[in-house]
Amino acid sequence: MVKRPAHRPASVYALAGIRLFNGVTGLLTPSVLIRRLDPDHEPSPAAVYAFRLFGIRTILLGLALLTHDGARLRADLREGVLIHASDTVTAAMLGIRGQVPPRTAALTTLISATNTYLAATGECAATDGCAGQRKRK
């Protein structure tokens, strides 16, 4: 008997795609992302190292959304809300403190907030926790 793939809400596929894109970019071409945050300086070796670390983490998180199902997928999404909310606060604080250009702060905060929203709506749909929304079979 062939196991049918689990249904995933569109928000889960969107979040997986964003994670995979950002993860691959961070892992393979970290200087591209670093220059968006700090366009006036050459990327430091420490920044390259950090982006590669987070690149592989982000790839694995994206793949988990596409391969896990049931309770494991719901846990991944719950953790995703925390991960992306933390990213959102960090991006906003960098902007508030003037540590990155205002446009960069606004963009990274918006991207992270979108990821938080996608994780939250994915979790909501996966757990049938959304008011007025029925779980698909």
What confidence tens digit (pLDDT) does each residue in 64-105 have?
999 999 999 999 999 999 999 999 999 999 999 999 889 999
Contact 95, 105 (CB under 8 A): yes
Average pLDDT for 47-52: 95
Residue 59 pLDDT > 60, yes or no? Answer: yes
What is the pLDDT, as a whole number, of residue 76? 96
Average pLDDT for 10-24: 96
Q: What percent of the chain has pLDDT over 90?
A: 74
Q: Which residues of 12-31 are buried (b: 16+ CB within 10 A; e: fewer)?
A: bebbbebbbebbebbbeebe
